[in-house]
Structure 1
């Protein structure tokens, strides 16, 4: 019997609504550039926009000092600029700046912070367009750049005009006459990528992907590239920029509820708008790097899975495309629980793939480590700026039971958690074999937090397609949310502009206690950078390295099995309720009911497997559901495994 719902204490249902959009159109940029415009702002509107942007950077943006220290200060936008100094320069020129110039200056100032959570989103109609080339590039070992995917639909004879078509695996030699290091250094100024690898892959993405909600349109109508085949032959190809856009160019306005309509899970969001846009475009046009195996869908589109046969071993594979479910959040959690417990039953290891994952709900990232470890999972803390502007935001969270201590009078608050420990451990362990996490420098935001949490809790070995994750360590607010729920100094932005800002700075736990995630991210334990053959065969050598690493990990010596059907919900008799369990290499068994300790037994089950009859509490009400936690302990009372079951009597 599969669980249809989890305890309401874990998560409140989140209703997601979608707006209808007109059919997407595609054309060459030269034919639509005249439509890529900004509505003119009055001088008063320019001043309002500037003042509100300054307010967020000065009083809300939690990573400002960290960025100045990590990257240093550049006098120009070629590097990281001090945002306060940059905003002061904009203010001095504000009377003479056109609307487009103001938008551009704000964009460059925000982008230079190398923080994808701090974003100035261009207004309509400009943001309705996405410029792209019909191929993608990827980083290989040694920072070599090769074509990773192409769109045969777009690379037609009429588009290529007799030129050679780029092919998967071809090496990028130059781009508009500049070497790869030169063009990537140029693009990094506005790519927003954190750390060396985040900066590299984000700049690389900008060579072919420019969603104009958050990036400026390409200045040129076409790009000339020199590519090299494996044979050593080089060739030049000139590709026109293509543009997708919504033909009615009317923005879909998100419903802004008052704070009574939110729960904490909805507010604790950490995601990357740029990568979300790129992933959607790649999927829409089928320009995605393939796998050598087929994936099975679930009812939640962000979650797919497979079981790979490797000799006589079976390896589970779970692909998490995002931490922002298409359907309700509680439905996603149920899909995840059922997949790990039932779908991967009998496998010898599990791969959790969060490559290119742009983030989403922090709760979803926080609850996953518990599924793979015998002890208590610890989730990361956060801290925020303490000042007069931010205090009403801090106070607002008291409504959600979140006590943020500001009494010390320091620049930053005391630490707090978006996901309480009891919630992060409510499901319990569901998988008992070795686990690997596959990440890359596009694993960002909640993707960073998940990867770090799995590493910090010893739940998995991290295998990196890039040596570091993308390193976005904060939750994100929209200015519009602050306006509606806090008010005060927050004023409406002109022309439906959108600004997002990093509010809570994320910290790691356990082995990396209080280390920042921002910029540093999670360093992979094993490098599995792509090889040329991986691009052509769907990653066989890369996955082989991960699977062999999984199988080389020591297997747990202690184990248990139930002498009933292995369901998450179990039915026991109301009179003399018992549960029969087989255990091996266990000294003690501890039980709790609904979070309260119930009984500890010394079983001394060493050598052959031993059957133990667990006597459950009397007095269960018929039809009511009780949560039973069973934990195996060694002689020092250290956890060896645990399982949570929902008990119903009849």
Structure 2
């Protein structure tokens, strides 16, 4: 078994643990529990839901832990890892990947991993597990991508995944299973205590049919840093909808297995980009390789565009959307596969701004609610007038003030994403669209999938029964503390600096579906796909061949429309397909409605060239089917 010494710097797990000396005092531990109580009891928006759905009482568990700590002395308080394990388990028990205890140094920024990845596939109803990747340079006899895994430390692999799933926070069965499988081989130590086992014995069957065992120890390495600082008072931090664990794992997987996709910045200036449409079977260069992979794919049903969105965790959602639009306009226009599998979310604006580019319908961003507590009201009142320019909590204040009198559990509901931004550029792709999801889609990606379904943009093809079901905006303890310090500190701030660079995160505002499912929470329920595809061996080992073929079947034969607009001072020229009427609005006012008599036609529209915003709507049989938004100046 070999692995090169170059590349990713790593430690064996025992060596790392020897350096992880206990540093928290008894008072530090008491402080961490007290601050956890503040977040869970007074900020946590899903507390009533989690108590009902999962029969848990994290508040009482924290109180009991506090009582035990108060009875301890520095000589009887026990090892630090045991404290971290108990506090982490209390947070995990609510099955909410937004609500975390983030471990202090030396665990922060570290990833524990084994030098291979395991994925699952089906033959009929039978589930199999197979190695799909190995760390560069790692070899072992008869071992590599394609070997079938049968046992994990002597436990049948399917049972081992289920046992592991019980330890990690998935809010529905599909999400728990997906987390259990993923965490077999890679774990961010800022969210999970180090593995109990020093090494793992993997039983596998190679291509020669011989069963072998591989014993490999856990390694520990530094992970790539996040692009977004969630503890600072920025729009990106306030609008976070992110599964931190998935984000950590996504960055680690790129570092370990796809190092060419690792970028020090979210946007690389000077990248060699093309303005030419992609050739079949080829990738498009992108300025954001850590976020997008765009290519044309050849399927039995035709050649279609395929764009993978790895993350929404950006600081600049407008730049993110611009690059998405640039890429999809260079892909085949007869059908698009938008693939968000394993995307743990990020900036909620980025997710909801993207929806408009795929549909003529106006986008209604998902509304959100606080749980009504006196502390949440203090936070909202502190930012009622948007004094910092980064956050405006004024809309939630009146309902929270009333709720404290009437006993209502939740505040009124208002969107985080500005409706203007969610509809600023309008539709940019006019072919049919299929969205591909799985149970590792979470948070802002749940919101994106929910919006895709609620606005009837296209069909959803899921490789699992649900998305991950993360329906909330998440704030860190550091951000909550800062919100009561700016623009001027409040008296009796309940948030205290945490020791050892520890942190905590909490679901602060829950999200609700819109349109036909208006008022339905996303949390725990997620988005149920209209079509289901079980991953095959060809999928996990040959670039999703069968999954893309299934998506191609859903796209084939669907209408491919066109609505191009050329603007002159007092006229518009339309190039259309499958549109029988065009309506024109200048600065929101209706101006012209004409029947389409030819594929290309010019229509007088006085003042078109001087309008601030032109919206052109294409209808077929009185149904809105295409739209263009143009800003001439």
Query: Is TM > 0.5 for Structure 1 vs Structure 2?
Result: yes
In the alignment, structure 1 residue 361 sits paired with structure 2 residue 347: yes
SS of the residue 1:370 aligns to: helix
CA contact (8 A) 1:313 1:347 kept: no
Question: In the aligned structure 1, how far is the partner of 2:630 from the partner of 2:229?
Answer: 39
- State whether residues 572 and 608 of structure 2, in contact with CA within 8 Å, keep that contact through their aligned partners in structure 1: no
2:116–2:133 Cα contact (<8 Å) kept: yes
State the Cα deviation string for residues 4-56 of structure 1 (Å, max 9, x = none).
xxxxxxxxxxxxxxxxxxx9521322333201334132x33222211110010
1:328 pairs with one of 316, 320, 342: 316
CA distance in 2, matches of 1:51, 1:240: 36
In the aligned structure 2, how far is the partner of 1:83 from the partner of 1:495?
23
Change in Cα spacing, 1:393 to 1:190, as seen in structure 2 (3 Å) is farther
Structure 2: distance between partners of 1:207 and 1:619: 60
Structure 2 segments unaligned to the other structure (5+ residues): 1-6, 262-279, 486-492
Cα distance in structure 2, aligned partners of 1:457 and 1:252: 30
Matched, 1:102 2:73: no
Q: Does the C-alpha gap of structure 1 residues 216 and 561 become closer, same or farther in structure 2, counting only changes over 3 Å?
A: same
1:334-355 CA-partner distances (Å, limit 9, x unpaired): 2122223x313x5210011111
Does residue 379 of the first structure (1) align with residue 372 of the second (2)? no
Deviations 1:252-279 (A, max 9, x none): 995955x5xx34x541111111112212
Once the 2 structures are TM-superposed, how far is the Cα of residue 640 of structure 1 from its aligned partner?
2.5
Structure 2 CA distance for partners of 1:479 and 1:152, relative to 1, 3 Å: closer
How far off is 1:386 after superposition? 0.7
Partner of 1:493: 498
Partner residue of 2:68?
93
Mapped pair 1:146 → 2:129: yes
Pick the aligned partner of 2:464 from 458, 466, 476: 466
- TM-score, structure 1 length as denominator? 0.83
2:240 match: 269
Q: Is the 8 A contact 1:593 1:629 kept in 2?
A: yes
Q: Secondary structure at the match of 2:632?
A: strand
SS at match of 1:139: strand
Counterpart contact for 2:371–2:410, Cα < 8 Å: yes
Aligned equivalents of 1:518, 1:170: Cα separation in 2 = 37
Q: CA deviation at 1:587?
A: 5.5
Residue deviations 1:487-507 (CA, integer Å, cap 9, x gap): 521111122211011011111
Which one of 233, 243, 247 corresponds to residue 220 of structure 2? 243
Change (3 A) 1:618 1:211: closer
CA distances 1:58-106 after superposition (whole Å, capped 9, x unpaired):
01111122122222x2xxxxxxx42122112212211334443332211
Distance in 2, matches of 1:53 and 1:223, equals 33
1:340-355 correspondence runs (5 A): 340=328, 342-344=329-331, 346-355=332-341
Task: Quote how far apart the aligned CAs of 1:231 are.
Answer: 6.5
> Deviations for 1:136-192, whole angstroms, at most 9, x for unmatched residues?
122323472422422253533xxx4xxx34332333322112223432333223311
Give the Å deviation of 1:397.
4.5
CA distance in 2, matches of 1:255, 1:365: 17
Judge conservation of contact 1:439–1:462 (CA < 8 Å) in 2: yes
Q: Secondary structure at the match of 2:150?
A: strand
> When the two structures are superposed, what TM-score results if normalisation uses the length of structure 2?
0.85
1:146-295 matches, within 5 Å, as 146-151=129-134, 153-156=136-139, 160=140, 164-229=141-206, 233-245=210-222, 257=232, 259=233, 262-263=234-235, 266-286=237-257, 294-295=282-283
CA distance in 1, matches of 2:609, 2:631: 16
Which of these residues, 347, 372, 376, is aligned with residue 390 of structure 1? 376
The equivalent of 2:535 in structure 1 is: 530
Contact kept? 1:629, 1:643, Cα under 8 Å: yes
**How far apart are the structure 2 equivalents of 1:25 and 1:122?**
21
Q: Which is worse superposed, 166-175 or 472-481?
A: 166-175
2:297 to 277, 297, 308: 308
- Partners of 2:321 and 2:354 within 8 A in 1: no
Residue 522 of structure 2 aligns to a residue in which SS? coil
Q: Structure 1 residue 635: deviation in Å?
A: 6.0
* C-alpha deviation, 1:629, in angstroms: 0.8
The separation in 2 between residues aligned to 1:251 and 1:101, in whole angstroms, is 28
| Aligned partner of residue 113 in structure 1, secondary structure | coil
Q: Find the aligned partners of 1:33 and 1:440 in 2 and give their Cα distance.
A: 34
How far off its partner does 1:454 sit?
0.7
Output one character per residue of 1:235-265: Cα deviation in whole Å (capped at 9) or x when no partner.
222122122138xx999995955x5xx34x5
- Distance in 2 of aligned mates of 1:538 and 1:253: 30
Q: Give the CA deviation at 1:610.
A: 6.2
Alignment partner, residue 555 of structure 1: 559
2:42: which partner in 1?
Answer: 59
Deviates more, 1:471-480 or 1:277-286: 277-286
Residues 373 and 227 of structure 1: CA distance in aligned 2, closer, same or farther (over 3 Å) = same
User: Could you tell me how far 1:132 is from its partner in structure 2?
Assistant: 0.8
Distance 1:460 1:597 in 2: 29
> Which of 597, 619, 632 pairs up with 1:633?
619
Counterparts of 1:322 and 1:355 in 2: how far apart (Å)? 10
CA distance, structure 2, for counterparts of residue 365 and residue 358 of structure 1: 11
Structure 1: stretches of 5+ with no match in the other structure = 1-22, 74-80, 565-569
Question: How far, CA to CA, are the matches of 1:611 and 1:629 in structure 2?
Answer: 17
Contact 2:203/2:213, CA 8 A, preserved across alignment: yes
Which SS does the other structure have where 1:459 is aligned?
coil
> Residues 92 and 427 from structure 1, CA distance in 2 versus in 1: closer, same or farther, beyond 3 angstroms?
same
Report if aligned partners of 2:88, 2:101 keep a CA contact under 8 Å in 1: yes
Q: Distance in 1 between matches of 2:510 and 2:231?
A: 24
Q: Distance in 2 between matches of 1:137 and 1:188?
A: 15
Aligned length: 581
Larger deviation, residues 228-237 vs 45-54 = 228-237
- Whether 1:643 aligns to 2:628 is yes
Contact kept? 1:588, 1:633, Cα under 8 Å: yes
> Structure 1: how far apart are the matches of 2:258 and 2:215?
19
Identify which range, 496-505 or 236-245, moves more after superposition.
Answer: 236-245
Shift of 1:199: 0.2
